[in-house]
Structure 1
Amino acid sequence: MTTSSQHEDAQSSPHELQRKLSNRHLQLIAIGGAIGTGLFMGSGKTISLAGPSILIIYMIIGGMFFFLMRALGEILLSNLHYKSFIDMAHDLIGPGAGYYIGWSYWLGWILVGIADLAAIINYLGFWLPPDMTFTPMGQALISAGCVLFVLGINLLTVKLFGEIEFWFALIKILAIIGLIFIGGFMVFTHYQAPGGSIASFSNVWSHGGMFPKGGEGFLAGFQIALFAFVGVELIGTMAAETKDPEKNLPKAVNAIPTRIILFYVLALFIVMSVTPWTEIPADQSPFVSLFLHAGIPVSAIIMNLVVLSSVLSSMNSGVFSTSRMLFGLAKEGQAPTKLAELSARAVPAKGLVFSCAFIMSGAALQYFVPNTIEAFTLASSLCVILFISIWSLIMVCYLRYRKLNPELHTKSTFKMPGGIWMSYIVLAFLLFTLVILSLEPDTLKALIISPLWLVILAVTYHILYKPRMKKLNKKL
């Protein structure tokens, strides 16, 4: 089947997702996915753990993700019938892999949503009175309101989602570029903060060097830094709703290194130049604390609004992607068939409601873990473990694709640099990050309980999915 006819089939069927996301939507959503809650909220704690070596951490992770995304891009463009990771894993590895990657991606984004709720409450503490943000009931009400707001956005149309996410992402980009320029101006004018410190590039290395916490601190910084990259693979869930994917997907993937250097490395380099890393609070966004430290409260308020919009953007993307995963799972018979139904607006409405109901359970989590930073760390740690396994499976899919379809690789106009040997390097890196999680007590807890998810999936796969497939095969 030709590419154009594939597109026409997708457009004409009322039971399929529609290609409504344009190039500008995809580019900005891809950038927005690369600028997540982990960068805005988590980088404060990462800086406290690793010091200036956080810059090296982000460059290493960014480099690995570029190759991972190139591998994903090559596979998706080799077969435009692949709607997402599920189709890809199901076809290249087997139905068990599709089941695992689909439900794990769904749970991963549910955990991102719960972590985002903790972040929203933390940021709202900047404005709201303590009896609203520091009581379990107040936190639960804020959480419920945010989930309902995001659900409302996603229930309308795919194009509206793309439009809102476009503006969310644009706000983040302009804010970070603005911060880089303002911070750079402070450095070049040797701005002196009310606390006495003078803005200078030397602040980055003059407080204990680039590795002030040693090798242990450097390794500890990887966990939350990895959480900042959750969402960079988001364009892989939008393959079925992207116009002209052969042209637009490569553009979005190839821009990843530039984004990492600009939005992570340069932004945090400027932050640590203006505010010595030793004075950046672990429980606060360093982007907000930069302006507070510099004695510019109005700018801090604006940045706090930006950070808040960033978290809502992250939750918005998460709800979007989980509903598409459920749609794909249901199409394969691996989830309730009702979740494969589309609304009149070509939106998987039942999947959206299903996902939001689980994210709403994050409101209940606020009762049991009222410390928002503790709740954020627990949810983000579990999330990172799931995403490490998903990213690893994407690389395994690439290796299987190279083995099973060498002719498609030969014809590909978007080949992954380094090919097979680079795939093994990325897999080794992901295994290395999993080992790192065992070094910190809070992430070790998440690592210990994570096998429970494997047990749940194994049981549901054999009890629910396999019998359903046997019945379908008998009918055929």
Structure 2
Amino acid sequence: MLEKNERSDQMAEQETTGLARNLKNRHVQLIAIGGTIGTGLFLGSGQSIHLAGPSILVAYMITGLACFILMRALGELLLSNLEYRSFIEAIREYLGDTIGFVTGWTYWICWVTIAMAEMTAIGIYVKLWLPSVPQWLPGFIILLILLGVNLITVGAFGEVEFWFALIKIVAIIGLIVIGIVLLFMNYKTPSGHASVTNLVSHGGFFPTGIKGFLLSFQMVVFSFIGIEMVGMTAAETQDPEKVLPKAINDIPLRIIIFYVGALFVIMSIYPWIDLQPSQSPFVMVFKDIGIAAAASVINFVVITAAASACNSSLYTTGRMLAELTMGSKNPRVKKISRLSKHHVPANALVISTIVIAVSVLLNYFIPDQVFTLVSSVATTCFLFIWAIIVLTHLKFKKTQKGKESKFKTPFYPVGDYLILAFLAAVAVILCFKKETFIALVLSIVWFSILYLLERRKTVNKPN
């Protein structure tokens, strides 16, 4: 009887320890697109253009190429072993448990803080419509709704993310189409006419010099934060060997259309010097064609973009926390990694939500500083995470000499080393601005503490 009960317990555990491959091709494709489109494009592009002028297009293309090679490296890693639950398992295998521990917990806390920042953003945007609503309330309500969605099935998460991403895509394509029409019409603006000559007729293509061009990379790189998240879906994707390569290979085209295309059109319609850093260029374009509610339209799009990021944060933090606690010898800690009957890490999702909800208190006590506070360190940490992915790929390739790869990374090994050089250059650029320099220092402190904690635990392990 005892053996029968043990077998029953084992069967029950097996039923709840396997992630379900319920993410369809269209889910993964839109998740990949959503990962390359953030609120920064809709609201922060004015500030980026003000800093670098038309040369911002080159910054996006360079960063986009780096991200494409990075994602090809990540794809090759994940498709080399379809048993990986995430890229953290690959890091552990090739760079060791200590680096895996540091990267895993860094990735988890990064997405927690991103969710905090997006909850704050939602509160700020909703206050434009409802000034009397407390800043913490809208984001908190959306967080609880998204938790409910994520607890249902991974398919529910994919469906919600599909529609969130679709709203962003429609807004950008709408802007590009309208912009092209205005260019053909030679549309008259307050400072002249819509024309591609606006890209070079106001100080040239690099009007702020090499300094402005280089400083713009900190904002451009931050626009791509989360692009690697599609790698977290590998264990829950239907036919990953077909779906993931397509999602990754389409990245350059998406970047050209959604970032370069949108900003090219905006700066052709309006001279870059006429774009205000504090105002969304999207609002300017839609207002000029007679849409009186342009600000409200973009506000809605931005709220959905922030909710999309929050949804991705819940998905990622839930899976990551489950993976990080899976190997614990403490039964209470290991229980966090258990999956529900719907094959989702329910305990990890709830715990991550509780931690994210700390932003409610931050928004109550320091509403003006919380967004900058929680987002700066997180975005800086992603430079480290991307670098570790590349280093893991380099180690993987050295151990796979002579073996045929399912998804070869182009330009290897030169491409990998160029990405590392690019990330190092961005880290240097971060030192030239006070806020990002402080964030960089705090990130280094965070990595050092995690590394020393894990090393101490390893040293103290009984032989």
- TM surpasses 0.5: yes
Offset of 1:192 from its aligned partner?
3.0
Of residues 334-343 and 29-38 in structure 1, the stretch that sits farther from structure 2 once superposed is: 334-343
The match for 2:8 is none
Offset of 1:83 from its aligned partner?
1.2
Inter-CA distance 462–225: structure 2 relative to 1 (3 Å threshold): same
Check conservation: 2:68, 2:252, Cα contact below 8 A.
yes
The match for 2:309 is 314
Offset of 1:436 from its aligned partner?
0.6
Deviations 1:199-246 (A, max 9, x none): 322233322222222222111111121111011111111111011111
Match of 2:76 among 74, 77, 82: 74
Check conservation: 1:224, 1:380, Cα contact below 8 A.
no
Inter-CA distance 427–254: structure 2 relative to 1 (3 Å threshold): same
Amino acid at match of 1:342: L
CA distance in 2, matches of 1:420, 1:280: 41
* Correspondences of 1:219-368 after superposition (within 5 Å): 219-292=214-287, 295-333=290-328, 336-368=333-365
Deviations 1:166-187 (A, max 9, x none): 1111121122111100121122
Offset of 1:32 from its aligned partner?
0.9
Offset of 1:338 from its aligned partner?
2.4
Of residues 449-458 and 417-426 in structure 1, the stretch that sits farther from structure 2 once superposed is: 449-458
Provide the TM-score with structure 1 as the length reference: 0.89
Give the secondary structure class of the aligned counterpart of 1:207.
Answer: coil
CA distance in 1, matches of 2:239, 2:450: 35
Deviations 1:291-310 (A, max 9, x none): 23555223443232122211
Backbone CA RMSD of aligned residues: 2.3
Match of 1:423 among 411, 416, 419: 416
Give the secondary structure class of the aligned counterpart of 1:34.
Answer: coil
Amino acid at match of 2:363: Q
Check conservation: 2:92, 2:99, Cα contact below 8 A.
yes
CA distance in 2, matches of 1:126, 1:457: 40
CA distance in 2, matches of 1:248, 1:459: 39
1:381 aligns with 2:383: no
The match for 2:439 is 446
The match for 1:5 is none
The match for 2:405 is 412
CA distance in 2, matches of 1:384, 1:263: 21
Amino acid at match of 2:71: M
CA distance in 2, matches of 1:254, 1:123: 34
CA distance in 2, matches of 1:420, 1:340: 36
CA distance in 2, matches of 1:272, 1:205: 10
Check conservation: 2:115, 2:310, Cα contact below 8 A.
yes
Percent pairwise identity: 46
CA distance in 1, matches of 2:138, 2:365: 16
Check conservation: 1:438, 1:444, Cα contact below 8 A.
yes
Of residues 107-116 and 117-126 in structure 1, the stretch that sits farther from structure 2 once superposed is: 117-126
CA distance in 2, matches of 1:352, 1:376: 23
The number of residues matched between the two structures is 450
Match of 2:148 among 152, 160, 176: 152
Check conservation: 1:223, 1:384, Cα contact below 8 A.
no
Provide the TM-score with structure 2 as the length reference: 0.91
Question: Which residues of structure 2 form unaligned runs of 5+?
Answer: 1-10
Of residues 120-129 and 44-53 in structure 1, the stretch that sits farther from structure 2 once superposed is: 120-129
Inter-CA distance 49–115: structure 2 relative to 1 (3 Å threshold): farther
Match of 2:38 among 33, 36, 39: 36
Offset of 1:189 from its aligned partner?
1.4
CA distance in 1, matches of 2:277, 2:124: 12
Inter-CA distance 250–417: structure 2 relative to 1 (3 Å threshold): same
Check conservation: 1:85, 1:101, Cα contact below 8 A.
no
1:52 aligns with 2:49: no
Deviations 1:318-346 (A, max 9, x none): 11011111111112339931221111211
Question: Which residues of structure 1 form unaligned runs of 5+?
Answer: 1-8, 133-137
Inter-CA distance 298–337: structure 2 relative to 1 (3 Å threshold): same
Match of 2:139 among 143, 163, 166: 143
Amino acid at match of 1:41: L
